[in-house]
Amino acid sequence: MNINTIEERQTISIAEQLAALLGPGDIVLLTGDLGAGKTTFTKGIAQGLDIDEPVTSPSFTLMNQYSGSIPLYHFDLYRIEDPEEFLELGIEEFLYGKGISVVEWSEKLPELPNSYLQVSLKLGADPEGRQIIIEPYGGYYQELVSKLRQEVFSDE
């Protein structure tokens, strides 16, 4: 699924629509350059989960936990230099835990989960525009993406 957003609000709204389809244990891996909108996308997911607390990137703590309609575990692995570090931190159990995990810089994970949703954000020529590519890995996420597609494109 490929969407070109023309402003931040639209990125938030797509993430919010995605959140409505997510359930406990779901994993969203976010990739994209600095400033591409990974944290912005996570804010949208948090809004969709009725989280009122402000969402900021856990650059130093590597993971923030929020309690919403479903718990949200927000990872930012930017500072990890060696994938083994992730295992040493003992936060892997959250990734496979009962909440929804959203992982910025998921390239740094020591290994990919068996199934997950991949969201890639890309900067373009327009400073307010972003290309968002949403790809399912695993049958469950395939169904989720087809539902999301219906939701997002029925709004247009």
Binding stretches for ligand ADP (CB under 6 A): 5, 7-8, 11, 32, 34-40, 57, 104, 128-130
Q: Which is nearer to Mg ion, 17 or 57 (CB)?
A: 57
> Nearest distance from residue 108's CB to Mg ion, in Å?
13
According to DSSP, the β-strands at 130-137 and 2-5 are antiparallel
Is residue 57 within the footprint of Mg ion (CB under 5 A)?
A: yes
For residue 73, list its beta bridge partners. Answer: 65, 101
Q: Which is nearer to Mg ion, 26 or 104 (CB)?
A: 104
Is residue 130 within the footprint of Mg ion (CB under 5 A)?
A: no
Backbone angles phi, psi at 87, to 5 degrees: -70, -35
37 binds, among Mg ion, ligand ADP, none (CB under 5 to 8 A by kind): ligand ADP
Is residue 38 within the footprint of Mg ion (CB under 5 A)?
A: yes
Q: How many positions of this chain bind Mg ion (CB under 5 A)?
A: 4
* Cα–Cα distances in angstroms (integers) from residue 51 to residues 17, 55, 88, 98, in the given order: 14, 9, 29, 17
Measured in whole angstroms, the distance separating CA 53 from the mean position of its chain's CA atoms is 17
Backbone angles phi, psi at 75, to 5 degrees: -100, 145
Q: Which is nearer to Mg ion, 75 or 141 (CB)?
A: 75
> Nearest distance from residue 118's CB to ligand ADP, in Å?
15
Q: Are 12 and 38 in contact (CB under 8 A)?
A: no
